[in-house]
């Protein structure tokens, strides 16, 4: 665990496509006239989750630059990345996915920070028999017949609930209330949270649901906090959490607040919006990258960030591109229906652990079995394409700063 939390909201890296071609040291030269390998991502640059897109884009661009700078894939072909704005909108995400599939002819549509956006785009991508990779949590994304084409580089919603209960246990909260936004990502957390609270001897007094983009949340806040529970598990996104936190402060409620980083952090945007006085004392949790691993340390250095920086979602975009190019190289094709079958071959054990995508590509070409470890997670997947072995990073807002509390699994 690091001693401090560094909020990162860096400018998007520019000019990465102008790297020199590598021909020495056994690396393949980029084939003259060979067609690019097109990949796509739908990332949030505007709307309620717009703060996450720039760092995710930076990470994805960096991988593409590394791979192309080392000679590309599939006999020397360049990877070309097309990125569209999800606008934190399901409708916009469908339109963006269609453009990537029909105009840019991509074999991967990745990104998808938000669950509504991913769920809306899912049938479009599956109908095209292309791969969808996700950084969202709603359980439903990997349910049903996915044709083996969907991979989630994030904890499922149903895993967030028990993690929240473990935070309640750590802070000594026995009687709690849930205040939750009505959306697929969040609704799936509630019952697992209640079940875990029961296991640890706690009680969920009430579940108060609200709709996104309400004009006011005063009635819901009063209903949740009025009975004076030990704590309230607030499950929001950024815009509603800003309003809810102000209502909590205005009402003078004293129950502890445990929230999600999607609302009470958002790359530091929550603190900027409400100020330190309103934010003081709020706990929040988000899926954690493997903070103490060599793969994560390598990623932080590649991002040009100080040692110990915590990127909670950018590593997912990095891993999506890495996994895709490694699976394509293993399958010896860019055809999605074929290389999707190689994802577990290059990611799951057994195999030699490797976290450098360029080194991993060479190992695949040499016929070695690899176990790729990513920046956002270990990149191990179950049969439905869900990430396994996930943990959650817990922070407390204190003195106007996000301070680490610990990691829960």
CATH code for position 67: 3.40.50.2300
Tell me the per-residue pLDDT of 266-282, one tens digit each, with 9 for 90 and over.
778 899 999 999 999 99
3-state secondary structure of 39: strand
Distance CA 105, CA 98 (A): 10
Q: Is 118 exposed, middle or buried (0-12, 13-18, 19+ CB in 10 A)?
A: buried
Domain range spanning residue 93?
16-156+292-372
Q: Please check whether residue 51 lies inside any domain of the structure.
A: yes
**pLDDT for position 409:** 79
Distance CA 368, CA 218 (A): 59
Q: What percent of the chain has pLDDT over 70?
A: 92
Cβ-based neighbours of 15, under 8 Å, separated by 6 or more = none
pTM, full prediction? 0.78
Residue 33 has pLDDT above 80, yes or no: no
Lookup: tokens for 137: 């949590």
Tell me the per-residue pLDDT of 67-122, one tens digit each, with 9 for 90 and over.
999 999 999 999 999 999 999 999 999 999 999 999 999 999 999 999 999 999 99
Distance CA 210, CA 235 (A): 10
Residue 322 has pLDDT above 90, yes or no: yes
Judge if 26 and 106 occupy the same domain: yes
**pLDDT for position 213:** 87
Angle between helices 357-365 and 53-69 (to 10 degrees): 40
Residue 204 has pLDDT above 90, yes or no: yes
Q: Please check whether residue 404 lies inside any domain of the structure.
A: yes
Q: Please check whether residue 71 lies inside any domain of the structure.
A: yes
Judge if 152 and 162 occupy the same domain: no
**pLDDT for position 262:** 85
Distance CA 182, CA 210 (A): 6
Residue 8 has pLDDT above 80, yes or no: no
Distance CA 315, CA 374 (A): 8
Judge if 312 and 236 occupy the same domain: no
Characterise 340 by phi-psi region: left (phi > 0), alpha (psi -120 to 50), beta (else).
alpha
Main-chain dihedrals φ then ψ at residue 352, nearest 5 degrees: -75, 125
Q: What share of the chain is helix, strand, coil (3-state, %, to 5)?
A: 40, 20, 40
The structural domain count of the chain equals 2
Q: Please check whether residue 368 lies inside any domain of the structure.
A: yes
Element (H, E) at 352: strand 352-354
Judge if 33 and 145 occupy the same domain: yes
Give 204's strand partners: 176
* 149, 129 contact by CB (below 8 A): yes
Residue 28 has pLDDT above 50, yes or no: no
Judge if 318 and 397 occupy the same domain: no
Q: Please check whether residue 252 lies inside any domain of the structure.
A: yes
Judge if 91 and 25 occupy the same domain: yes
Judge if 114 and 164 occupy the same domain: no
Residue 371 has pLDDT above 80, yes or no: yes
Q: Please check whether residue 381 lies inside any domain of the structure.
A: no
Judge if 166 and 196 occupy the same domain: yes
Going through 65-147 in order, the beta strands assigned E by DSSP cover: 79-85, 108-111, 131-134
- Residue 287 vs residue 250, higher pLDDT: 250
Label residue 407 by pLDDT band (50, 70, 90): confident
Lookup: tokens for 59: 């990470």
Judge if 79 and 226 occupy the same domain: no
Torsional sign, CA 221, 227, 228, 231: negative
Judge if 400 and 268 occupy the same domain: yes
Judge if 214 and 303 occupy the same domain: no
Judge if 23 and 141 occupy the same domain: yes
Q: Please check whether residue 11 lies inside any domain of the structure.
A: no
- Nearest 5 degrees, angle CA 104-CA 108-CA 112? 105
Cα atoms found within 13 Å of the Cα of residue 283, Cβ hemisphere only: 25
**pLDDT for position 119:** 96
Q: Please check whether residue 47 lies inside any domain of the structure.
A: yes
């Amino acid at each position: 665990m690091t001693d401090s939390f560094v909020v990162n909201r860096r400018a998007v890296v520019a000019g990465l496509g102008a790297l020199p071609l590598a021909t020495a040291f056994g690396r393949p030269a980029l084939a003259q006239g060979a067609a690019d390998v097109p990949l796509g991502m739908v990332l949030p640059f505007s709307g309620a989750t717009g703060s996450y897109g720039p760092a995710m884009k930076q990470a994805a661009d960096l991988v593409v630059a590394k791979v192309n700078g080392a000679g590309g894939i599939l006999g020397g072909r360049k990877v070309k990345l097309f990125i569209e704005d999800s606008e934190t909108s399901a409708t916009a995400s469908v339109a963006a996915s269609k453009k990537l599939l029909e105009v840019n002819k991509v074999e991967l549509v990745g990104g998808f920070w938000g669950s509504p956006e991913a769920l809306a785009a899912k049938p479009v991508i599956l109908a095209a028999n292309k791969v969808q990779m996700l950084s969202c949590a709603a359980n439903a994304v990997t349910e049903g017949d996915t044709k083996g084409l969907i991979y989630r580089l994030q904890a499922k919603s149903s895993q967030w609930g028990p993690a929240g209960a473990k935070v309640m246990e750590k802070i000594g909260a026995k009687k709690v209330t849930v205040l939750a936004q009505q959306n697929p990502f969040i609704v799936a957390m509630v019952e697992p949270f209640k079940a875990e609270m029961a296991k640890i001897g706690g009680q969920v007094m009430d579940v108060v649901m609200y709709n996104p983009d309400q004009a006011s949340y005063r009635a819901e806040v009063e209903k949740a906090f009025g009975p004076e529970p030990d704590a309230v598990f607030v499950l929001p996104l950024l815009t509603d959490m800003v309003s809810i936190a102000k209502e909590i402060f205005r009402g003078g409620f004293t129950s502890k607040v445990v929230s999600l980083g999607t609302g009470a952090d958002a790359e530091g945007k929550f603190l900027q919006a409400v100020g330190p006085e309103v934010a003081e004392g709020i706990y929040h949790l988000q899926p954690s990258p493997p903070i103490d691993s060599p793969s994560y340390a390598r990623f932080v250095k590649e991002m040009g960030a100080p040692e110990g920086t915590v990127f909670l979602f950018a590593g997912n975009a990095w891993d999506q591109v890495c996994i895709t190019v490694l699976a394509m190289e293993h399958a010896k094709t860019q055809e999605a229906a074929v290389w999707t079958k190689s994802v577990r071959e290059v990611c799951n054990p057994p195999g030699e652990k490797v976290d450098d995508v360029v080194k991993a590509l060479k190992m695949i070409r040499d016929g070695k079995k690899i176990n790729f470890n990513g920046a956002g997670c270990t990149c191990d997947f179950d049969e439905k394409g869900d990430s396994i072995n996930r943990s959650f990073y817990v922070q407390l807002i204190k003195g106007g700063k996000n301070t680490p509390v610990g990691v829960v699994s």
